[in-house]
A and B are shown apart, each in its own frame.
Chain A
Amino acid sequence: MIEVQNLTKHYGPVTAIRDVSFSVAPGEIVGFLGPNGAGKSTTMRILACFMPASGGSAKVAGYDVFRESLEVRRRIGYLPESVPLYTDLRVAPYLEFVAEVKGVPRGDRKKRVGDAMERCRIADVQHRLIGKLSKGYRQRVGLAQAIVNDPAVLILDEPTIGLDPKQITEIRELIKSLAGDHTVILSTHILPEVSMVCSSVVIINKGVIVARGPIDTLVDQFFPTARVEVEIAGQAPPAVRDALRLIPGVVAVNDLPGSDGIGRYMVESSRGRDVRGEVFLLAAQKRWDLRELRRMGMTLEEVFLHVVAGEQAGPEETA
């Protein structure tokens, strides 16, 4: 549904994104993940035909965003990050305007606008001025204008930013309910959101894609082993390491930076095996002073920190 190839965008001397390539299958919800200023909005603006790329190509629903922009724009619903709305219009007339501009036939307009308001739960404010609405309501009006023409592709830039937890949950449910009929690409820097809503992710950092794929595959790819962090006081590290390595299933034991007299170890075992019990029994048997035993989360968050923060911290660590 979305095909992006070697997309590059310069703002003067600054390169916002470089050689970004990914594709999104029909009916999929893809999370576009990255720290602030990574190039998420730039990519989405290009996909929404708001501005042209400096290089590369992007196709949405089979149409080129640059050469067949009108065809693309007929098939997308776009919600920019700042949720720009006409503050001097009332909600219902605004959505009717959007429906009309997006080419919803006159007969369907009332119904589509009603449906969109229903889905986004803004029917109760339909006669209010948009400028007088709270941030949460505005966000939902923004979402309603994106879905009012029932587009094949939805491009949502930070759709849950500035909402309270209850609203966030509602919006996520709404987005999930759109999957299947709609292809959704949504950007965010809230990680749990991605694991909850999206089937796959594209992680972008400093304008370059650093990881992409289905969430589970990504986690496996970056963390092929399960990890347990162990802290043991008053023992010589080499002895502890050797003992730990003898536990069945353990693949590797590495030292972690610890303080005086306290050793910290990273015990890696094959995926799906929890060696915490065995570590505890071993420590009890050897009468080690076991201070901490913690399983490391192998979540998307770890992957993200690994590829984004790791990349930033990496050179300094080795230097």
Chain B
Amino acid sequence: MGTLILSNVARSFGDVVAARDVSFTVPTGISYGLLGPNGAGKTTTMRMILGILIPDSGAVTWDGATIDFAIRRRFGYLPEERGLYGKLKVREQIAYFGRLHGIARPDDAKRAAAWIERLGLGEYADRPCAELSKGNQQKVQIACATLHEPELLVLDEPFSGLDPVNAEMLFEVLRGLQRAGTTLILSSHQMWQVEDLCKSFGIIAGGVVRAGGTLEELRAAWPTRVVEVEPAGDALRAVLDATPGARRLQRDGATLAYEVPADTDTAGLLRRLVTAGDVTRFERVEPSLRDIYLRAIGTAA
């Protein structure tokens, strides 16, 4: 096991800059969510971690060492565009990818059988992959990526195209790997999936990491908070309007919602509101990952 460090990594394709300056650290056993819009540089960054692409500048290290083929074989990869040999049988396909990652015979076959059982692929084990449904092909792909118990598993949009049942199955597999201490790096457009699985996040846009850290760290750096107050009476509105830096947000008529500076004394604000009138609800709303993401990529635009 080791720590993954990307230091000022950059990569261009001709005149197109895919990654301009990417830096982040993922400690052992941590799940890291890489967020960003299409074309932000997520896949290029993942490919550089895996050694598929060589950075133009900067460095990628695993446990302090430059990533070579011996290290790469201890990694796993589930790319966004899934690929399987159509004519190869499920059992042979999984075992082959195991051997590519250093699992010797006959252990490859034993592990393949175990994954086939675990993913409910038993009746398809000796069928060519091309005959399987898309969902079952994705299961095969997951087994191919994880058969060798990787130290680091990179998943590019792993939930893309999965139905809810298969998505839940993948969740379970990933949680199992987390329990086993596997470091995960995953990208997804589904915020809740990333938030549910990951401890740490990097928001990337225009080839640059715009924000990074745990959710608490990202929130701590967030410059404002939202307070929601009910009922929406004039007396309470006057108190909120008088709060330094407060900005009224458009909400439904029953609730007063204001964006206030993060360092606003909310306890003092609540006291002033209670003094001004009856307060049935007062809530200080923390920014969600989605809010932070939208703000980060907005500043990047």
A, B: real partners: no
